[in-house]
Amino acid sequence: MKRQELIVSALDHGTVIDHIPCDRLFEVINLLHLDQMTSKVTIGFNLKSSKMGTKSIIKIADRFFTDEELNQLSVVAPNVTLVIIRDYEVVEKRPVSLPDELHGIVHCDNPKCITNNEPMQTFFHVTDKQHGVIRCHYCNHEQDIRKVKLV
Amino acid sequence: MPLRGKDSELWHIFAQGLADNATLYHRQTTFEMNRSLVTIADHSREKIEYLIRMAQEFERRPNRLILQGRIVATLFFEPSTRTRLSFETAANRLGARVIGFADPKVTSGTKGETLKDTIMMVSNYADVIVMRHYLEGAARYASEIAPVPIINAGDGANQHPSQTMLDLYTIYQTQGTLDNLNIYMVGDLKYGRTVHSLLMAMRHFNPTFHFIAPDELAMPTLYKDYCRQWGIKYVEHKDFDADVIAGADILYMTRVQRERFTDLMEYERVKDRYLLKLDMLSKARDNMRILHPLPRVNEIEYSIDDDPHAYYFQQARNGLYARQAIICDALGISLEDIQNDPTIIK
């Protein structure tokens, strides 16, 4: 019988990040510093998805993410699905969506903004989650979340 | 050694006192932080009307000693003589003392000091800080870190709420109301900070705006979206003549600056189109008043200065009363305090 699918061993402990847009996969890898990990990491790229057409997926053994890391992840790849596995059981499965506020995560693209000239944390309000619009708390400039630079 | 008996009791009273003081200090600082004026968009209709009533009191009796013993700091990280003189006059006429700088070259900012350090240092000396800064968001940031209230006297291209407050006061003074007015904005509507702030502040009062500007300096989409979001009516005009002006209650003129144009031919073509000439007032309503944030260059013909519709010099004077109200409000002085003020100098 011809094998049609890639078989990946199940995780006993760890995190699966599913529904990553393919054009964001390598940004997610960089953001989570997966290249420096010593535990087992499985990366699937250009996989078929009924929801998205194609998608990417990452399985990371023995690693769980903080809220801060997930907030960063939501900026780079909005609407991914996070699955947390303990003892081969899915203990949590939820979409990672943009929070209402982003603290210290992205740069303001306005060079005249105080945040680019003072040693301080940036602060954005997410004004339109659907279209990914964020507004700087300080200078009021709006930015497209797809074009932001991370701090 | 653990404290016993009376010692323990005394220690408890002392510690409780410290805790009470800390709570009081926290309440005071929290209270004062909330009294900062960073943007007029933070103000409700009621708050705007309240500040207008305060400014009316100061117009009737501008000279008082209600701020005697208080220190107002004016920190101008970017020079602005007109705004600084207006704030300093407001403070001085109420008996406050003024410290600060008018020229950023004399500050430690040039030595690499952060804004935070400067603000924290001055907060030790002054009861309120009026600041002008070339960076956008500087006043918001200062208001979050300073233990004393911050009054934004302009932060880059972002906000200039005291100008908006004096514009609102002038509109109220000339029309007797802020409600249901036809406000015509002319000239540079793209970069003009004053027209953007005025537009946002008027959202409470059901205005109809008319935007008259060259294509290069048209009202940005962001603000037209804002109008739609708040149900504010607006009309855009290309022509600027007696027929257009005939419907105005307020004609808010701004300066069309040469340096704003990427195409200088375009500037030469439009620069005279947005000049207000005396004959253009032939059909104007009696109640119509011409405002301008000043300085004027050539956008209002000098012969208009003596026309009863001209109101820009009175508008500039209103800056004093509006800023007296803003400073007092930041310091927690109420309208009632001002109405019952025993320190009025007659």
Q: What is the pLDDT of residue B298?
A: 84
Dihedral angle computed from the Cα positions of residues B147, B153, B158 and B159, in that order, rounded to the nearest 10 degrees: 90
Q: For residues B135-164, give the mean pLDDT.
A: 95
What angle separates helix B312-330 from helix B161-175, to the nearest 10 degrees?
A: 120
Structure tokens, B280:
């253009």
Give the A-side interface with B, CB within 8 Å: 110, 112-115, 117-120, 136-142
> At a CB cut-off of 8 Å and minimum separation 6, what does A45 contact?
A22, A25, A56
- Tokens for B58? 């100061």
Tokens 């009062």 correspond to B205
Q: Is the pLDDT of residue B304 over 90?
A: yes
B174 vs A96, more confident: B174
Residue type at B229 in one-letter notation: Q
Q: Mean pLDDT throughout B216-223?
A: 90
What's the mean pLDDT in B31-37?
69
* CA–CA dist B98, B89 (Å, integer): 9
Contact criterion met (CB below 8 Å) for A113 and A135: no
Q: In 3-state terms, what secondary structure has residue B241?
A: coil
Choose the closest CB to B114 out of A112, A119, A140.
A119
B141 touches A at CB < 8 Å: yes
Contact B137 A117 (CB under 8 A): no
Q: Which residues of A touch B229 (CB under 8 A)?
A: none
Which member of A110, A120, A141 has the closest CB to residue B141? A120
Higher pLDDT, B150 or B260: B150
Task: Evaluate the omega torsion of the peptide bond into residue B295 and state whether it is cis, within 30 degrees of 0.
Answer: yes
| Chain centroid, CA B97 distance in Å | 21
Number of H helices and E strands in chain B, helices first, is: 12, 9
Q: How is B32-57 classified by DSSP, letter by letter?
A: HHTT-B--GGG--HHHHHHHHHHHHH
Beta carbons of B141 and A114 less than 8 Å apart: yes
Q: How far apart are CA B297 and CA B301, in angstroms?
A: 9
CA distance B96 to B222: 40
Checking if the pLDDT of A146 tops 90, the result is no
Question: Is the CB of B137 less than 8 angstroms away from the CB of A113?
Answer: yes
- In this predicted structure, what is the pLDDT of residue B162? 97
**Interchain pair A114, B135: CB under 8 A:** yes
The rounded distance, in Å, linking the Cα atoms of A18 and A54 is 11
Closest CA relative to residue B91, chosen from B130, B34, B35, B143: B130
User: What are the pLDDT digits (tens) for B78-112?
Assistant: 999 999 999 999 999 999 999 999 988 877 667 78
**Residue B9 pLDDT > 60, yes or no?**
no
Cα separation, B290 vs B284, in Å, equals 11
- Over residues B31-39, the mean pLDDT reads 74
Please state, rounded to an integer, the average pLDDT across all residues of chain A: 90
- Alpha helix stretches (DSSP H) within chain A: 25-31, 67-76
8 Å CB contact between B168 and B174: no
Mean per-residue pLDDT, B321-339: 97
pLDDT of residue B23: 43
Length of chain A: 151
- Average pLDDT value for chain B: 90
Which chain B residues have a beta carbon less than 8 Å from that of A112?
A: 134-136, 156-157
The closest of B193, B199, B163 to B181, measured between CA atoms, is B199
The pLDDT of residue B301 is 95
A87 phi/psi in degrees, rounded to 5: 50, 50
List Cβ<8 Å contacts ≥24 apart for B41-50.
B41/B159, B41/B197, B41/B200, B41/B201, B43/B201, B44/B204, B45/B204, B45/B205, B48/B165, B48/B168, B48/B178, B48/B201, B48/B204, B49/B178, B50/B335
Gap between the Cα atoms of A18 and B228, Å rounded: 39
Residue A31 tokens read as 């953001």
Tell me the C-alpha distance between B163 and B166, whole Å.
5
The complex's ipTM works out to 0.83
Predicted pLDDT of residue B31: 42
In order of their start, the domains of chain A are 13-96 (3.30.70.140), 101-147 (2.30.30.20)
pLDDT of residue A3: 63
Between the two ends of chain B, the Cα-to-Cα distance in Å is 65
What pLDDT is stored for residue B29 in this prediction?
A: 44
Stretch B23-52: mean pLDDT, rounded?
75
Q: What is the mean pLDDT of residues B290-310?
A: 94
Instruction: Provide, as residue numbers in chain B, all residues whose Cβ is less than 8 Å from the Cβ of A117.
Output: 135
pLDDT tens column, A22-78: 999 998 999 899 999 999 999 999 999 988 899 999 999 999 999 888 888 999 888
Q: How confident is the model at residue B26 (pLDDT cuts 50, 70, 90)?
A: very low
Beta bridge partners of B130: B74, B151
Nearest to B198 by CA among B276, B139, B252: B252
Mean pLDDT along residues B294-301:
90
Q: Which of B272, B283, B195 is nearest to B234 (CA)?
A: B195
With cut-offs at 50, 70 and 90, classify the pLDDT of residue B33: very low
Among A118, A138, A140, the residue with its CB nearest the CB of B116 is A118
pLDDT band at A91 (very low <50, low <70, confident <90, very high): very high
Q: Which domains does chain B have, with CATH numbers?
A: 43-160+322-339 (3.40.50.1370), 162-317 (3.40.50.1370)
CB pairs under 8 A between A and B: 47
Integer Cα distance of B85 and B132 in angstroms: 13
Is the pLDDT at B3 greater than 50, yes or no? Answer: no
Mean pLDDT of B205-214: 96
Q: Alpha carbon of B69 to those of A144, B25, B85, B94: distances in Å?
A: 49, 20, 20, 10
pLDDT at B116 over 80: yes
Contacts of A149 (CB under 8 A, 6+ apart): A106, A107, A109
Query: Per the CB < 8 Å rule, is B116 touching A141?
Result: no
Q: How many CA atoms lie within 13 A of A144 on its CB side?
A: 3
Mean pLDDT of B229-254: 95
Q: Which pLDDT score is estimated for A144?
A: 92
| Catalytic site positions of B | 82-83, 111, 132, 160
Q: Please tell me the distance from the alpha carbon of residue B114 to that of residue B189, in angstroms, as a whole number.
A: 33
| B100 Ramachandran zone, left/alpha/beta (phi>0; psi -120 to 50) | left
